Structure 1
């Protein structure tokens, strides 16, 4: 696989979902996750949710249930324009959205849309009680039938492979965190397997587990600890059936100080959860 310069400071900025009920979904994320509308379009068909200040972390767009796009704040030298130029050199089509931020958009081999933009305000992150609101959006995981073309695409974007689980799962990083993108072989190709929000520590999981249960939201998987990444996790679903992960204590990589080689894990239930227990039907291992 060809590689371009590694993205050491490229953070996931938001995930955009399509939903037939924007208002209902916004109410769910407000009640159960503490997310607030940060841009008021005065429309029931489109919502931008965040932490009350700074950039939005979740965008809701009216339409059939699915993923619209994910977006990254490109912090490396040359910014998102230089990254886009490297993609054009690879023969990747780059679309200019024409907004004030100069956002650019590419599509991966499965057709998932990835938006690239410059600096944003993250003033809302790390400012609220993490027992009632996540700290930040952390990573997105795609389902695919075609693992290697997807991995090659994201390596070409500058991501580095952190871990693999046989031919079933690949985790890729664009910051010091173990992964910003993951790719899993699943029942569908071109779509979101799950997406994740960051919590601070183990203590937060107890608060979240109690509050979700008290609010009538069923915990689907966890608490547990992943092998790859070593992070604590908890899963539940939103009203559209999107799998939401809460995560904490993810492993970190310091590529400017060490040379890391991707590890290969044995496929199995105790790889995706070191603590064991039943794996949900939608998570193939």
Structure 2
């Protein structure tokens, strides 16, 4: 049997509400390596020189920290309409019916809440911005790689995304984190079991190993100690270096994410949650800093509340 194919093509951008827009913008536009594509009152759109996506991070001045929106690309406008119809039949709460978007790149999209109350956007026909291939040694993000979300019921959340958005299961880390894909890339979305519904991390893909390590070093030289890394995961086989942005959101530099080219032959694996599988290289050190930040992370204040823009 042919494996189920999603109407989605990948991850577009993540929108974050932040209490201090200037401080967050300085981080992402400065040492993290993005650039300002557009801005309006209280909102900044940041893109990558290596990506045709109009922007990959949106920052909005907000009273409290929250995830505003997680945006995925649909394969066509027809797919957006079909998705809206199927979600509506399933009782999913539609926040914005399909229509023309007024954000950078425009396009045709819709918004809805997932099972945990996060705002999800799906869009098509977005105008690409100019981009170029990154040069050797250029240690800035090439594109958005993936986003990981925390759930209080990982199995229910995973089932929701598989049922309603046709994500495919790539792997499990024990029974506490599932890796989901909608293209050849091992995952653009992962769901982790936690005690609060919140953002786990946002990951940015670098040009290659050298550029990934150069970027990691730049953050260190600017006084940002890695929460965990550098190292190499088992699930996805990708490298990792995790840092905290000025508001405690965890962001990751990564590269060399596994690709699944034979969709129908792929069998999801279950990786042990042990140190040698957390980090194949054994270079990342302990998880104390990452766990410490996670333990004080509050539940997302934006659940079931549409972002104002």
Q: What TM-score does the superposition give when structure 2 sets the normalisation length?
A: 0.82
Question: What does residue 138 of structure 2 align with?
Answer: 131
Question: What does residue 180 of structure 2 align with?
Answer: 172
Q: Which runs of 5+ in 1 are unaligned?
A: none
Contact 1:212 1:218 in 2 (8 A): yes
Pairs within 5 Å for 1:206-285: 206-255=213-262, 258-276=264-282, 277-283=285-291
The structural deviation recorded for 1:5 is 4.3
The structural deviation recorded for 1:151 is 0.5
Question: What does residue 33 of structure 2 align with?
Answer: 34
Contact 2:230 2:241 in 1 (8 A): yes
CA distance in 1, matches of 2:114, 2:288: 27
Task: Write out per-residue CA displacement over residues 138-167 of structure 1, whole angstroms, 9 at most, x where no aligned residue.
Answer: 111001111111011110211000001222
Number of residue pairs the alignment of both structures matches: 277
Contact 1:25 1:238 in 2 (8 A): yes
* Aligned-residue RMSD, C-alpha: 2.3
CA distance in 1, matches of 2:82, 2:100: 18
Change (3 A) 1:197 1:8: farther
CA distance in 1, matches of 2:168, 2:76: 14
CA distance in 2, matches of 1:111, 1:233: 28
Q: 1:46 aligns with which of 29, 43, 46?
A: 43
Q: What TM-score does the superposition give when structure 1 sets the normalisation length?
A: 0.89
The structural deviation recorded for 1:18 is 0.7
CA distance in 2, matches of 1:87, 1:17: 25
CA distance in 2, matches of 1:213, 1:265: 30
